Every structure is written in structure tokens, then in C-alpha cells.
Structure 1
Amino acid sequence: MTNLFENYGRLPFSLIKGEDQYLFDDRGNKYLDFTSGIGVMNLGYSFEKGKVAVKAQLDSLSHLSNLYQNPLQEDVAEKLSQNHSYKAFFCNSGTEANEAALKLTHLIKKDQKILAFIDGFHGRTFGAMSATMQEKIQAGFSPLLPNFVASPFNDVVALEQILEKEKIGAIIFEIIQGEGGVLPISPDFVEALKTCQQKGILLIIDEVQTGIGRTGKLFAFEHFDFEPDIFTLAKALANGIPTGAMLAKNKYASYFSAGKHGSTFGGNPLAMASANEVLKEIDSDFLEKVTDKGIFFLKLLTEKLSVKATVKSIRGLGLMIGIQLTDEKKVPEVLALLRENGLLALSAGHDVIRLLPPLVMTKVELQKGAELLEKIL
């Protein structure tokens, strides 16, 4: 008997403790974590600077409404601002960040449509869900919000055809489709989207899963020299403390005048204390190490797994990697075998094993994970 809605497919054990890159369950088992709590714990479970900051803030002031000045919000916003080029709005999650982005877009591009890509994921609230072009996410919730248009990801021809037919004011997309199967954006699609921006179409980049160092850059769009009009963050921003952020170019700040949008808990002191320490930690040296480990890990997985009959492809960027299987029915079986052998991993799309290890994981531990994947697959 449970007192909870059964809207999650929960595994039959509880995780009760985390240390560094390891998790421990209520049965005494230890796991090497290749999930980071679905991309949240980028700095692992023993990020002491963050813990100290949150504990100190809890003793000082745990909540501050947005009726008052908040210096911690200012500190975090400055670190995210790309040299003071963007203004920040803080919320509590990725879907809230995307809702804020969509509301702002509606004010800027009133009565124009928003283009989103098939198999993208932007959240489960109504606006974000309307932009999440996955049937399994949208099923049962019609009618969704109007003025959203779907197109295949990485398909330049389809994009051009949509733009000819529809009055598109903005495009929302991920640099790597995470939930959709760890599918990176292609170079020609990057150029096509930049062309759209040059024609006045807003680019909204969802960095909820790819941001905060996951790909070896603070934001994944930096790999491709994008300058998004709007971008969104959450997950790893505060390393386990719920928070989200929507950032927009300074010229759009006036559209969110007082009362246009808000959040009771958005940018609360506990979340900001943690986020501030996270952003201090993820400096250029840290990101270089992530890049190095990402290259090492992808090469290692390719060497060990590309010869396997069960593996169709291996792809990713930094420490966000997908292993596409030849048979999608094997995904749950592989994940179960990995758990039995002390490693936690994720699924994505229809046929992908998704790996999101903490960015502080060592090469020794990455190799241990690769060897176990080789054994299981």
C-alpha cells in the first residue's frame, strides 16, 4: 500500500546515502553512479563547499521572498550572464524555466508560432509539454496549447519547408536531445538555425540537461558559437538543491516588467547559496578536465563496445554519452544487469543506454564502468 500517486516506475529499493560518485541502498549495496540523479549531481555527493554554504545559509535565512533585494541571486546571475549580456529569472525546475522562456517569447513574438523538434524534451507542465514533441508525453492531455509546430531534429530540408509554410517567431531546441536518445545536433543544422536567427527568429536553447559543465563547456551552446536569445538551466545548477533559471538577452528584459511573471520560491537563498558555489567550482581548469575525461571515456567505450553485436552506435559529448542498442527490448535487461553488478545507468529514447556520470568521476572509475558495460553487453 502506498500513499503516493504511482506516476513513477520506481525500482524496488531505496537509495539512502551518497559519497563522491557512489550511492548506497537500504539493503547494503554500493553502486557506481552513472546517472548523477538524471544529470543533477554533476559535482558528486560530497561537494563540501556547497554543503557548507547551504548549512550556513539555513542557519541565517532559509527563505526570502522576491519582494526584497537578493544579493545571492545577483551573484549567481552575474556568473551566468556571459559577461553581463543576459538577464536572469530564477525558478525551481527545468520545466518552470522553459515555461518562463515560452511566456517571454509570447510577449516578444505575439501571435507567431514556436517551432520544436520531434523527440525533444522540455518538461511536463502545459507550455513545456506542448513544446515536447513526444507522443508518450503528450498522450491524454489534448487540447495542448496552440501555436506549436513540430519538425524532425537535424533535418535542414524539413526545417526550411516549415519556415516557408508557417509564421515562426521562435525555435526551442536542445544541443543534445537527452531524453530523446542522446542525439547531438549536426553541424549543418547548427548553421541552418543560425540563419534563422539572422532572419529575426528567436533561438531558445534548453540547457537543462546539457548545461553546467556536462559537455565540457559551462553551456553546450558554446561548442557551436551560438548566442541564444534565451536559454534555460536547472538540474545541476545547484547540485541537488531544486532550482532553475531562464536567461534572456538584455534587450528583452523590459518585456518581463513587474508582475508579468514570478515565483514564490524561485531564487531562494538555499538554492542560490549552493548554485554560487557550484559556479565557482566549475572554472576553466575544471572544464578542461571534463573535456579530457569525456574524450577518454568515449574512446574507451568505442574500443570496447563498437564490436558488440548488441551495439548499434555510441555517441555523445563530454560526459553525456548514449549507447544505442540494436534491440530496444534489451534496454531494461541491460540496466537490470548493470544494477546487479553495482552500476546505475539510465535509458533514453527507445533504444539507448544513457550515461551521465558525475563530472568529478575519475578515469579509473570511468574505466571500471566501461569494463562492466563490456561484460554485460
Structure 2
Amino acid sequence: MSQATETLVFIPEDISSARSGAFRADWQMRSLAGETMGTHWSAKFSSPEQLDLQAIELSITQNLDTVISQMSPWETDSDLRRYQKAASGSWCAFRPEAFHVLERALSIAQETDGAYDPTFATAVDLLGFGPSPHSGYSYASPEVQQAFAQAGYQKAALSAETNSLFQPGNLRVDLCSIAKGFAVDLVCQRLRELGLENYLFEIGGEAKGLGCKPDGLPWLYEIEPPPNAKASLSKAQVALCGLAVATSGNYLRYEQRHGQTVAHIVSPRCQDGDDKLLSVSIFHDSCMEADAYATALFLLGAEAGLAFADKRNLAALFQTADDLLLSGRARKLLG
């Protein structure tokens, strides 16, 4: 596959039902866009009549603000910041959306035996990817090593009855690897409630679609090739008809410090400097799941990540500098 120049197109197995919403070629395409979570969001709609774009935009921004107010490490009164300040030995209540995302993040941490772990928030912050001023630390810094040692998803006990998380003392949580995907799901749910049946919504590389364009063709979304990949590698597109896609990689936000690459996906596994795997894309009906699993499989690496994806029937695309690797489920989606 490494010498191919064709475009790989991944198509949902139930694409017929996903395109069941009525459509006509004389319908118009409408779009909206804005900024959120340090990146951009965009929405495209196919509709037979004039849409109240102002009302739709307001609904989108309200749902995005819900996620930010609860899950942003930069908002001083977010649920995450309140938990950070909670007294040792106390239980801290989370609002329903944040607790749902937290619960899933910790579950995936357990599935991956800690390769993916949302409790690495202090290390994320020390390495310059959190709300604190840039520190210039590297993985070799004693402060970062201590932060990893003090973290651990096993310490994060949950109470589903009270939507609370136990604070054992100095434990912090970062949900940036999953919150954006959840925000996509939340907005798409609201678009459905507003009666929209044909749309594509994206936040900074995480996207989800339903229905199709006015000409009946699916929403084709191109997966960005990492800059270090060979130009001869196949391109990849996915038909987002009732499907979501999320991609994780360390090639967008990174720095060289003390001879070591420090990037925004933070884990003790990253300190080895193995950059053979450039990115992982996950196709899933839930963008939240796709977002978190893309990061988790990136941290596991190509070999272990492929095995994990096949065991859990995940559609995964791994991009290295000179090859594209597909899980068994992803191969089944090839058009």
C-alpha cells in the first residue's frame, strides 16, 4: 500500500439508512462557522427551505459553551477546576455532561491499562499544554516525573449516584482528549432536535455527519495527512453519513526541549521519542468515542493499537511516515 496514489474511501455499512432523509438537487447548501476551544467549528446544511441560521448558530454556541463551562481547564469555575481545588478526602460533584465524559474517559483508561489516562493533567500543565504559564519543562524534569507518579486513573473513584469524583489529594483531570468529540455529538444531537436531517459538523478535525448533500452524495471528509508522511501515500476520505471521525497525532503542537520532542498528547509513553506513528483516525458512530480512542491508540502505538482495535472491533486508520495501516473493521468500510 505504501506506493499507492489512489484515494481510500471509507463508507458506513448502513449508508442507505443513513441517507434515508429526503433530498432534492434543487435544495440549497448553507453553512455557519465560528471559533471555540482554541480552534474553529463549521457546520453545513442541506435543506429544502430557508433556515433560521441565527437560531441554529445560537443553539450551536450554547451547546459549545456548555462543554467549555464544565470541561475546560482554562475556565476558573469549570467542574475540572473545582475538582482541582477540592479538599483532600472529599467528593466533588460534576454536572451531568461532564460526569458522563469523565466516566467514559476513566473507563477507556482502564481498558488501555493506563496508556490513556485523563489524570495526567498536572504533567500536561507542566509541559506547557495547560492553563499555567509555559514552564519549559521536559519529560526528564523531576517535577514532570513526580506528576506522573502521583497520577493514576485507579485513584479516581466515581459515585454514579451523586455524579461525584473522589479527590484523594492533589489529583487533577484533563478531558481535552475527549471533550471536543463530545461537543460534536452534543451539537449534532441538538441539530436533530431542530429537525435537520442533512448536515456536517466539525470542530478542529473532529467531525460528524448525517444524511447527504443536495445532490444525494454523502458528506465526504478528507483526513489530513501528517506533514512527515510520504507524498506517494494514499489519501483517505470517509463518508460521514451517520458516522463520526476523529484524528490524534503529535505533529501539530510540539516543541524541542533539551533534545527531546515535547508534544500536546502527554503520557509517560511519549518520553521514549518513538515517532514512527504519526496519527490515528477512528471512525465511529460517536465522536466522543472516536476522539478518545484515537488518542488511546496513538499512545499504544501501531502494533499494540492495531491489536486493541481488532479486539474491540474499532475502525482505525494508522498513518506512519511510509505506510497506512488499517484495522479489520476499517478494511470492511473500504468502498
Whether TM exceeds 0.5 here: the answer is no
The structure with more helix, counted as a fraction of residues: 1
Taking structure 1 as the reference length, the TM-score comes to 0.26
The structure with more strand, counted as a fraction of residues: 2
